[in-house]
C-alpha cells in the first residue's frame, strides 16, 4: 500500500495522571513516508509528549497512533523502539561507553556481530563527518556540537525508516547550529528518512521541514502546512504572532532566485551606440549601463563616462561586484542588492548570464 502514512496520529489526547489540563488535545496529523515534519510551539505545548507517544515511551489517554499502518499498541514496545531512531532532547549519551560504542548501541541490541557493528559505526563517522580520532573517547570529552552529532548518528545506526528528533540541535551556539542544520539537509537528501523533528526555532523549522506543525499550549494543532503556505497564509493570530513580524523576509529565504522573472535591466549590446545607451539609462532611471550580449555579461560603466566617448567598445568596463547564482535565495539576493551601488545584481547560472535582479522585483515578493 503506497499511500499508508509512515506515522499517523488520530484524535490523540494525552492527560498526564494527576494533571487537570491536557498535554495534547484531539490531535490528528499524518506524516508521509520520506517526509520531514517539524513540530514547533511554545515550551510545554506537548512536542516531546507527541514524539514519545510514537515509540511508546508515553501512552496516549485516547486516540490512536499508527506506524506504517499498524497501531503501535499492537507492537512490542522494545521491538518498536529498536526500529525507530530517537534523538532525545538532552542527547543522553551513555557516559560509560565510548563514542563508537554509543553509536553501535542499537545494532548491538539487535544482535549484529561485532564486525558488522564496527563497519556500520565507520560508515556513520563518515556520514556525519566525525573525526575518527573520537572513536574511543568518552562523551565527556566531546564538545556540545560533537555530542549532538553522535546522538544523531546513534539514532541512525540501525538504519531505521523513521527518525524522531527532539531538538537535535538545541544546545549549541548559532554557528554550530547552522552547520548541523546544513548537514542534516545533506544527510536527509541522501537517506530520505521519515523524520519528525521538534524545535522551538521557527527558522529551523522553515529550513529543515517539508511541513511544519504549529502547536499551541495544551497540544492544540493550530496549523499544519508546508513552510511556504504557513508564511503566506497563517491560519490565525497565534500562528501569525508565532511567525514574528519578519514573516515576509522569512518567505524570501525559501524562494530561489529562479522563482522570479529576471529583467534584462539597463543593458545594451557592446556594439550599441552611445545614444542608445543614454536612452536605456533614462528609461531605467539609473546612472549606469551594463553591456551584455546574449548570455555573456561584459561589465558595466558609470553614466558620466559616456560623456565625450566615441563608442562603447572604447570604454573601460567594470566588473559586476554584485552577482548571484540562480539557486541563491531571494533573501541572499536582497542582501546583495541593497548593498550594491547599482541596486541590481547580475544573476548567473554557472558562467551563463541570466539577467538582472532588481530591488523592486524582490520587493514585490515581500508584499504578495
Partner 1 sequence: MIADGVIDLGWVFDHLGDMWEASVEHAVLTGIAVSCGLVLSVLLSLIALRWRRTYTPITWVTGILYTIPSLALFTFLVPVFGLSLLTAEIALVSYTLLILIRNIVSGIDGVPDDVLEASSGMGMTARQQLLRVQVPLALPAIIAGIRIAAVTTIGLVTVTVLIGQGGYGVFILRGIRRQFLTEALVGTLLSVALAVVVDLLLVGVGRLAMPWARRAGT
Residues that bind partner 1 (CB under 8 A): 52, 55, 57, 78-83, 86, 88-97, 105-106, 109, 138, 140, 154
* Residue from 23, 65, 87, 280 in contact with ligand ATP (CB under 6 A): 23
Q: Which of residues 67-106 bind ligand ATP (CB under 6 A)?
A: 89
Strand 24-31 to strand 7-14: parallel, antiparallel, or no bridges (unpaired)?
A: antiparallel
**Closest CB to partner 1 among residues 162, 257:** 162
**Closest CB to partner 1 among residues 57, 217:** 57
Q: Is 132 helix (H, G, I), strand (E, B) or coil?
A: helix
Task: Report if residue 61 touches ligand ATP, rule: CB under 6 A.
Answer: no
Which of 267, 240, 243, 252 is closest to 355 using CA atoms? 267
Cβ atoms of 82 and 161 closer than 8 Å: no
**Closest CB to partner 1 among residues 37, 88:** 88
Which of 164, 215, 210, 175 is closest to 40 using CA atoms? 215
Residue 166 in grid coordinates: 527532539
Task: Report if residue 117 touches ligand ATP, rule: CB under 6 A.
Answer: no
Q: How far apart are CA 119 and CA 128, in angstroms?
A: 15
- The window from 15-23, 77-85, 287-295, 319-327 that contacts ligand ATP (CB under 6 A) reads 15-23
Which of 190, 187, 195, 158 is closest to 6 using CA atoms? 195
- Least distance from Mg ion to the Cβ atom of residue 264, Å: 52
- Least distance from Mg ion to the Cβ atom of residue 106, Å: 22
Each residue 38-57 as x (binds Mg ion by CB under 5 A) or -, in order, gives ----------x---------
Residues 6 or more apart whose CB falls under 8 angstroms from that of 159 comprise none
Residue 343 binds which of Mg ion, ligand ATP, partner 1, none (CB < 5-8 A, kind-dependent)? none
Strand partners, 318: 300
Task: Report helix angle 247-254 to 330-338, nearest 10.
Answer: 110
* Residue from 25, 36, 49, 358 in contact with ligand ATP (CB under 6 A): 49
- Least distance from partner 1 to the Cβ atom of residue 88, Å: 5
Q: How far apart are CA 206 and CA 315, in angstroms?
A: 47
**Closest CB to ligand ATP among residues 44, 132:** 44
* Residue from 10, 97, 178, 200 in contact with ligand ATP (CB under 6 A): 200
DSSP 27: E
- The window from 47-55, 95-103, 115-123, 256-264 that contacts ligand ATP (CB under 6 A) reads 47-55
- Least distance from Mg ion to the Cβ atom of residue 201, Å: 13
Distances (CA, A) of 117 to 11, 109, 131, 151, 187: 39, 10, 18, 16, 20
With contacts defined by CB under 5 A, how many residues of the chain interact with Mg ion? 1
Task: Report if residue 48 touches ligand ATP, rule: CB under 6 A.
Answer: yes
Element (H, E) at 140: none
Q: How far apart are CA 68 and CA 5, in angstroms?
A: 6
Task: Report if residue 25 touches ligand ATP, rule: CB under 6 A.
Answer: no
Distances (CA, A) of 143 to 133, 148, 151, 254: 14, 9, 12, 31
With contacts defined by CB under 6 A, how many residues of the chain interact with ligand ATP? 12
Q: How many residues does the chain have?
A: 368
Element (H, E) at 262: none
- Least distance from ligand ATP to the Cβ atom of residue 52, Å: 8
Q: How far apart are CA 262 and CA 48, in angstroms?
A: 44
Residue 298 binds which of ligand ATP, partner 1, Mg ion, none (CB < 5-8 A, kind-dependent)? none
**Closest CB to ligand ATP among residues 178, 200:** 200
- Least distance from ligand ATP to the Cβ atom of residue 239, Å: 16
Residues that bind Mg ion (CB under 5 A): 48
Residues that bind ligand ATP (CB under 6 A): 16, 19, 23, 43-49, 89, 200
Amino acid at each position: 500500500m503506497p499511500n499508508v502514512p509512515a506515522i499517523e496520529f488520530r484524535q490523540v489526547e494525552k492527560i498526564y495522571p494527576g494533571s487537570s489540563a491536557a498535554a495534547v488535545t484531539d490531535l490528528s496529523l499524518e506524516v508521509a513516508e520520506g517526509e520531514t515534519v517539524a513540530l514547533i510551539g511554545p515550551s510545554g505545548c506537548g512536542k516531546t509528549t507527541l514524539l514519545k507517544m510514537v515509540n511508546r515511551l508515553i501512552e496516549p489517554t485516547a486516540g490512536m497512533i499508527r506506524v506504517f499502518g499498524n497501531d503501535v499498541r499492537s507492537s512490542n514496545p522494545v521491538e518498536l523502539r529498536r526500529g525507530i531512531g530517537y534523538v532525545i532532547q538532552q542527547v543522553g549519551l551513555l557516559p560509560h561507553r565510548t563514542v563508537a560504542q554509543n553509536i553501535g548501541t542499537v545494532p548491538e541490541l539487535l544482535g549484529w556481530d561485532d564486525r558488522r557493528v564496527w563497519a556500520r559505526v565507520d560508515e556513520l563517522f563518515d556520514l556525519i563527518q566525525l573525526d575518527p580520532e573520537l572513536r574511543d573517547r568518552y562523551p565527556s570529552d566531546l564538545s556540545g556540537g560533537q555530542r549532538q552529532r553522535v546522538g544523531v548518528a546513534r539514532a541512525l545506526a540501525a538504519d531505521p525508516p523513521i527518525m524522531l528528533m527532539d531538538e537535535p540541535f538545541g544546545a549549541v551556539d548559532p554557528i554550530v547550529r547552522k552547520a548541523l542544520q546544513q548537514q542534516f539537509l545533506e544527510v536527509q537528501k541522501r537517506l530520505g528518512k521519515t523524520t519528525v523533528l521538534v524545535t522551538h526555532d521557527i527558522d529551523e523549522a522553515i529550513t529543515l521541514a517539508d511541513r511544519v506543525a504549529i502547536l499551541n499550549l495544551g497540544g492544540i494543532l493550530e496549523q499544519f502546512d508546508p513552510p511556504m503556505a504557513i508564511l503566506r497564509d497563517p491560519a490565525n493570530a497565534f500562528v501569525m504572532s508565532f511567525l514574528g513580524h519578519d514573516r515576509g523576509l522569512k518567505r524570501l529565504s525559501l524562494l530561489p532566485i529562479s522563482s522570479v522573472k529576471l529583467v534584462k535591466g539597463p543593458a545594451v549590446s557592446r556594439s550599441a551606440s552611445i545614444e542608445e545607451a543614454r536612452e536605456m539609462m533614462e528609461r531605467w532611471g539609473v546612472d549606469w549601463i551594463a553591456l551584455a550580449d546574449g548570455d555573456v555579461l561584459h561589465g558595466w560603466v558609470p553614466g558620466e563616462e559616456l560623456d565625450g566617448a566615441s563608442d562603447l567598445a572604447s570604454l573601460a568596463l567594470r566588473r559586476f561586484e554584485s552577482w548571484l547564482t540562480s539557486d541563491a535565495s531571494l533573501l541572499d539576493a536582497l542582501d546583495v542588492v541593497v548593498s550594491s551601488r547599482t541596486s541590481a545584481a547580475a544573476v548567473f547560472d554557472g558562467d551563463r548570464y541570466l539577467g538582472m535582479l532588481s530591488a523592486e522585483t524582490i520587493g514585490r515578493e515581500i508584499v504578495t
